[in-house]
Amino acid sequence: MPLTYISTTTASGSASLDITSGIDSTYNEYQFHMVNIHPATDSTAFGFQFNADGGSGFNETITSTIFKAEHNEGDSGTGLGYHTASDQGNGTAYQRVSYDMEIDSDEAYSGILTLYAPSSTTYVKHFVAKGNYIHHSGKYSQNTYVAGYINTTSAIDEISFKMESGNIDAGSIHMYGVG
């Protein structure tokens, strides 16, 4: 599977990381590798949204699911379950890949988001993401799995990543084309 590097976007006290070029019909699939995404604000969520070609604003309609496995450092809690507060039913919010993130200086989110056929003008756009981070309450390792679709047949050519509250203190997002 050829994986071709396209760009890196690095946060430094950034309100968002917006990738506004490089998503086109060149590749049928794109991957976004999110590495050590660290929030400036405690107990917030990290997520993404899209903009359709010719549209304005990161506010496309998304229907999604999210579930997670969790286990704390104290070995007193484990779980596997759906997280209703982080899904969307034709919503236009930023789609969460994490929530209630810990802000300690050595803690961050890392994961991979795959976006399928963003340039299609026939189909909705599917995505899947998996990652790991530390929950702010009780030092839980949170392994999240997100999937869904952008409910538009317009081409998607921009993506934005941000925290629900506060800046992205640090972290990098590497964009690759697949194929």
Partner 1 sequence: MALTLISTHTASADSSIDITSGITSTYDSYEFHMVNMHPANNNVNFTFQVNADGQSGFNETITSTSFRAYLKEDGTGGTLGYDGGADQAEGTAYQRILSTGTGSDNDQCVSGVMTLFAPASTTYVKHFTAVGNGTDHGEYEVTSYMGGYINVTAAIDEISFKFDSGNIDAGTIKMFGVS
DSSP string, 56-77: -SS---EEEEEEEEEEETTSS-
Contact between 28 and partner 1 per CB under 8 A: no
Contact between 80 and partner 1 per CB under 8 A: yes
Closer of 118 and 131 to partner 1 (Cβ): 131
How many angstroms separate the Cα of 173 from the Cα of each of 27, 48, 69, 140, 159? 18, 12, 24, 24, 11
User: How buried is residue 57: exposed, middle or buried, by Cβ count under 10 Å (0-12/13-18/19+)?
Assistant: exposed
Q: Which two tokens stand for residue 88?
A: 């969307």
Residues counted in the chain:
179
* # binding residues, partner 1 (CB under 8 A): 40
Contact between 3 and partner 1 per CB under 8 A: yes
Closer of 61 and 143 to partner 1 (Cβ): 143
Contact between 139 and partner 1 per CB under 8 A: yes
Pick the binder of partner 1 from 18, 29, 70, 100 (CB under 8 A): 70
Whole-angstrom Cα distance, residue 175 to residue 34? Answer: 9
Question: Using an 8 Å Cβ cutoff, are 161 and 111 in contact?
Answer: no
Pick the binder of partner 1 from 132, 149, 151, 164 (CB under 8 A): 132
Contact between 83 and partner 1 per CB under 8 A: no
Contact between 38 and partner 1 per CB under 8 A: yes
Pick the binder of partner 1 from 18, 24, 55, 71 (CB under 8 A): 71
Four-residue CA torsion sign, 109, 111, 45, 156: positive
Query: Under the rule (CB under 8 A), what is the footprint of partner 1?
Result: 1-5, 33, 35-36, 38, 69-75, 78-80, 105-112, 130-134, 139, 141-143, 145, 172, 174, 176
